[in-house]
Amino acid sequence: MTLLKSFEDLDYSEALESNKEAQDWLESNNRRFGQLINGKFVTVKNAKLIESLNPSTSELLAHIEIANSEQLESAVKSARKAQPSWEKLGGHGRAKALYALARLMQKHARIISVLETLDNGKPIRESRDIDIPLAIRHFYHHAGWAQLQEKDFSSYQSIGVVAQIVPWNFPLLMLSWKIAPALAMGNTIVFKAAEQTPITAMFFAQLCNEAGIPPGVINMINGDGVIGAELAAHKGVDKVAFTGSTAVGQSIRKSTAGQGKKLTLELGGKSAFIVFEDADLDAAVEGLVDSIWFNQGEVCCAGSRLLVQAEVAKELHLKIKRRIKQLRLGKPLDKSTDLGSLVSKTQFNRVSEMVQEGLNHGGEIYQACDIDEKGNYYPPTLITDVDSSHPLVQEEIFGPVLVSMTFRTQSEAVELANNSRYGLAASVWSENINRAMDVAPKVKAGVIWINCHNQFDASCGFGGVRESGFGREGGKEGLYEYLKPIGLKLPDKTSLISASLKPKDNVIDRTLKFYIGGKQVRPDGGHSLATFNADGTHAVYVGSGNRKDIRNAVSAASKASSWGSQSGHARAQVIYFIAENLSVRESEWIQRLVSLCGVSKKQAKVEFDQSISRLFSYAAWADKYDGAVHSAPYRGVTMALPEPIGVLSQIAPEETPLLSTISLIAPAIAMGNRVVLIPSERFASVALELVQVFETSDVPGGVINIVSGNKRELAEQLAGHAEVDAMWCWANQETVASIETISATDLKRLWVHHDGDRDWLDPEQGESSEFLRNATEVKNIWTPYGD
């Protein structure tokens, strides 16, 4: 009878995974770990220590030494010294090293899984069946890219020394996401694990030596947020790749401002889980289990906002309550456990307090079982009867808490999904593929799952928009984050604007107007600036913009959103018209370039011809810059779709004014963006004279907007504007540092350069897919098929 009752009640007995091998390994290291620097493990007797605890039992796993500044400096120097030879090893040599790491991880998969569960508190089934296999997959996949690098990325080179900082929710998986592509592309690494979960990183460090990774190629330091901040800001680092909270991401953006570092930020999320009335509700419930109760809800892309069509909301909520009652909450090493411990007492308290404080604003709570504070077990939770402004709807809880709202129409669902400062991921649940494929592109997020959630693979890019960060990890698009174009120049320290130019003759006042919303408009402040020819004679006056002019230009660009939904063919026609109307004024433009820039007619003609060619190139790309279908190992297709970013502000460089202006505007509008351009200060008249060409080329109002004036002042206004989605900037170091600092508030996507960093006449530097990549966001849409 007891057996039959257990069978009927699905009452599982304990099935504990043995942790003996893991505990023996910890003992063999005296339960103390220092740093891996230049291929050697470094420990210091009087080092400050962090206790790494098993969150479900509070058992001490190991003492972790906090790296000091001298050790950090040594790690960066070791990486710098090792980088040239690692890059010169070639793709095949690096592929073999990555393959060796993958094989060793497979060999030790069981002990790694147990260590991960002991340190993090997640169920052993998730460590064993999801995290560790996917981590291994990343090393295999990127071994392949290393082998192919010299053919597929022949015009790119490694960045150099990369700082990588990961969170505690997927310790080894995040490590693999970061280290594998960076190594494959020839970079060397200083890696910092989360202070709460460093154990598997230390196991991996030992595998690095066993795999024969050359000294200095991978350096691993431990510590708290202070050492992480010091690593990110270190001037010897060329790139920072960070995964963690939005607040820390903003801090890193500020601390690295002006240093010329490349930056990838994968930050917080509040992902929408959208269920339509025609969805398979039972499948949606299982999707929620995989979404918000997977890994105890400690997942940045967890579907923590349930948006359900009103007609089926009551039925779905009942199904959810019945299902979470069946989830097993308990010992992480029990193979029958569905939810383990939150990572720490601190995180447990944070989740508890957020929920309690949130309920003060309303809402009805349902929890599957009682809270078990002793083991940091927080029960599966459903909160209903809330609106879109509720704190629990807007703020990331990072625990197993689902918050549900209803909607009536498809458009309302999209509006609610986008009513968030985050934009990491979302899922759409409907048996109507037309509806699903219509909604997916409209949701502002980097990853969209259709009738599934939390699907990942090394072949597919992952990353967000808005305050969920920028940059991608995984897939081919993730490799570009660890590469830079060959041939870029170091910053030019000399000023490109002559302060000694003075008018030499009296001329009739001619002031070029701004171009805003398809019209020529006067500056709001009524002020103008003189521009001069190369010989010092007066050329023309241009308007001097202010904050209101920028506000008007951005507003006009925002209203022109229909440009992004036009077909690539339609956008191409407009760009061809620009080229056509510019070409009929060849002699006028050549003479203008001769007078303004002091170049010969031959040089001016080369710049003009290149400008026409560049317009033709980006018109051609407008309907040919396609996405890709990734071959992820699941029954379905993952479509990587390049989408326009939105309102794109551009700060133009101070050289080859016609060509550089065309080289910025053309790829941006070809990809469906709307542009607010701040032209070169010295050659502002070039961009403003182009207005006559735009007006005769069927450019819709608001697609191109031009405001001249002080570059730094106007750039700072754009960097702080909430409706500007991204910025391209060519300026001096002070201006770059300023906009990087200001943009940290809303984590605007930036592509920044120093004036003079490239030869705009060189097609490899002035015209390439690099411009198209920076004019688009890649959205990965996962679409399963079959019964």
Q: Which residues are tagged catalytic? A: 266, 300
Tokens of 404: 């549900």
Tokens of 721: 């504007």
Outline where DSSP puts E strands in 479-554. 483-485, 511-512, 514-516, 519-521, 528-532, 538-543
d(CA 526, CA 548): 12
Tokens of 324: 């979470």
Q: Long-range pairs for 560-564 at CB < 8 Å and ≥24 separation?
A: 560/674, 560/700, 560/701, 560/702, 560/703, 561/646, 561/674, 562/700, 563/669, 563/672, 563/673, 563/674, 563/700, 563/702, 563/703, 564/643, 564/644, 564/646, 564/672, 564/673, 564/674
d(CA 672, CA 675): 10
CB contact at 8 A, 342 and 348 = yes
Of 715, 601, 605, the C-alpha closest to 649 is: 715
The CA R_g of the chain, rounded to the nearest whole Å, is: 28
- Dihedral through CA 181, CA 182, CA 183, CA 185, nearest 10? 80
CB contact at 8 A, 273 and 447 = no
Tokens of 386: 């809330």
Tokens of 611: 């400008």
Residue 85: CB atoms within 10 Å: 12
Report the amino acid identity of residue 619: A
Distances in Å between the Cα of 200 and the Cα atoms of 205, 244, 588 are: 8, 18, 67
Distances in Å between the Cα of 102 and the Cα atoms of 39, 70, 141, 221, 628 are: 19, 32, 10, 22, 26
- The DSSP bridge pattern shows strands 776-784 and 447-450 to be parallel
Residue 60: CB atoms within 10 Å: 12
CB contact at 8 A, 510 and 214 = no
Residue whose tokens read 């996949």: 141
Burial 356-381 (b: 16+ CB within 10 A, else e): eebbeeebebbbbeebeeebbbbbbb
Of 514, 570, 567, 431, the C-alpha closest to 705 is: 514
Distant-in-sequence, close-in-space partners of 444: CB < 8 Å, separation ≥ 6: 417, 418, 423, 465, 466
Strand (E) or helix (H) holding 35: strand 35-37
Distant-in-sequence, close-in-space partners of 472: CB < 8 Å, separation ≥ 6: 264, 446, 461, 462, 463, 478, 481, 778
Instruction: Order across the sheet with 60-65: list the strands.
Output: 32-33, 60-65, 49-53
Residue 712: CB atoms within 10 Å: 18
Of 307, 271, 288, the C-alpha closest to 452 is: 288
Distant-in-sequence, close-in-space partners of 145: CB < 8 Å, separation ≥ 6: 152, 181, 184, 185, 476, 479
- The DSSP bridge pattern shows strands 188-192 and 514-516 to be unpaired
The residues facing 674 across adjacent strands are: 647
Cα angle at 770 between 443 and 271, to 5 degrees? 20
CB contact at 8 A, 671 and 625 = yes
